[in-house]
Structure 1
Amino acid sequence: MGADILVGVDVGTTSVKAVAVSLAGQVLASASRPTPWRRNGAHADIDPRELADVTIAVCAEAAADERLGSPGEHVVRGIGVTGIAETGALLDSAGNPCAPALAWFDPRGDVQALRDRIDRTEFQRATGVRLNSKPSIAKIMWLQRNIPGADRAVRHLCVGEWIVRALGGDEVTESSLASRTGLFDVHERTTWQTATDIVGPLMPERHVWAGERVGTASGDVPQALRGAALTVAGHDHQTASLIAGACRDGALFDSMGTAEALIRTVARTLTRDEMQRLTDLDISVGWGVLPGHQILLAGRLTGLSLERVSSLLGATDRASRLALGVQALKTERGAMSPRIEQVDNESLSITGITDGVTPGLMWRVAVEDLTRIVDEPLGQMDEAVGPRLSSVVAGGWIHNAMVADAKQRQLGGYRVSELEEPGALGAAFLGGVAAGLLRRPDSGGVAHWLD
Structure 2
Amino acid sequence: MLLVGLDIGTTAIKAVVFDEHGTALAEGRAATPWSVSPLGVQLEAAELLEAAASALTCALATAPGGAVASIGITGMGESGVLTGPDGEVVAPVIAWHDRRDLAELASLRAAISEDAFSARTGLPMREQWSLTKHRWLLTHLPETRRATMRFNIAEWVAFSLGGAPISELSLASRTGWLDLSRNWWTETLEWSGASQTLMPEVAVAGTNLGAVSAKAGISPPHRGGHHGSGA
TM-score, normalised via structure 2 length:
0.91
Deviations 1:379-415 (A, max 9, x none): xxxxxxxxxxxxxxxxxxxxxxxxxxxxxxxxxxxxx
C-alpha deviations, 1:306-325, integer Å up to 9, x for none?
A: xxxxxxxxxxxxxxxxxxxx
Note the alpha carbon deviations across 1:343-398, whole angstroms, 9 max, x for none: xxxxxxxxxxxxxxxxxxxxxxxxxxxxxxxxxxxxxxxxxxxxxxxxxxxxxxxx
Residue 203 of structure 2 is aligned to residue 180 of structure 1: no
Partner of 1:281: none
Contact 1:56–1:167 (CA under 8 A) maintained in structure 2: no
Q: Is residue 2:4 matched to residue 1:12?
A: no
Shift of 1:144: 0.7
Q: CA deviation at 1:41?
A: 5.3
3-state SS of paired residue (1:142): helix
Equivalent residue number for residue 146 of structure 1: 140
* AA in 1 matched with 2:84: D
Alignment partner, residue 165 of structure 1: 159
Matches within 5 A, 1:5-404: 5-40=2-37, 43-65=40-62, 67-68=63-64, 73-109=65-101, 110-185=104-179, 187-198=180-191, 199-201=193-195, 202-204=198-200, 206-221=201-216, 222-224=218-220, 227-234=224-231
Q: For residue 77 of structure 1, give the secondary structure of its aligned residue in structure 2.
A: strand
Alpha-carbon distance, 1:177 to partner: 0.7
Runs of 4+ in structure 1 over 3 Å off = 223-227
Q: Is the 8 A contact 1:90 1:156 kept in 2?
A: yes
8 Å Cα contact 2:61-2:219 kept in structure 1:
no
Provide the secondary structure at the position in 2 that maps to 1:59: helix
Any idea what SS the aligned residue of 2:116 has?
A: helix
Which one-letter code corresponds to 1:99 in the other structure?
A
Q: How far did residue 227 of structure 1 move?
A: 3.4
Partner letter of residue 109 of structure 2? R
- Quote the offset at 1:131 in angstroms: 1.9
Higher relative contact order (CA 8 A, sep 6+): 2
Give the counterpart letter for 1:88 in structure 2.
G
Task: State the distance in 2 between where 1:30 and 1:83 align.
Answer: 17
Q: Is the 8 A contact 1:211 1:233 kept in 2?
A: yes
Structure 2 gap ranges (5+): none
Structure 2: which amino acid aligns with 1:25? G
- Residue identity opposite 1:229 in structure 2: H
Moved more, 224-233 or 152-161: 224-233
Deviations 1:54-101 (A, max 9, x none): 112211211121x42xxxx31111011111101111111222211111
- The alpha-carbon deviation at position 116 of structure 1 amounts to 3.5
Question: Helix, strand or coil for the counterpart of 2:49?
Answer: helix
CA positional deviation for 1:156: 1.4
Cα offsets for 1:180-224 (capped at 9, x unmatched): 111111x211222222223222221x2211111012111412243
CA distance in 2 between counterparts of 1:128 and 1:74 reads 43
Kindly state the Cα deviation for residue 35 of structure 1 after the two structures are TM-superposed: 0.6
Cα-to-partner distance string for 1:242-266 (whole Å, 9 max, x where unaligned):
xxxxxxxxxxxxxxxxxxxxxxxxx
TM-score (norm 1): 0.48
Aligned CA-pair RMSD: 1.6
Distance in structure 1 (CA, Å) of the matches to 2:127 and 2:58: 35
Aligned length: 224
Q: State the 1:118 CA deviation.
A: 2.4
In 2, the alpha carbon distance for the partners of 1:142 and 1:81 equals: 28
Please tell me the residue identity of whatever aligns with 1:31: G
Unaligned runs of 5+ in 1: 235-451
1:233: how far off? Answer: 2.9
Give how far 1:119 is off: 2.6
Whether contact under 8 Å (2:60, 2:219) holds in the other structure is no
Q: Which amino acid aligns with 1:161?
A: E
Q: Which has the larger radius of gyration?
A: 1
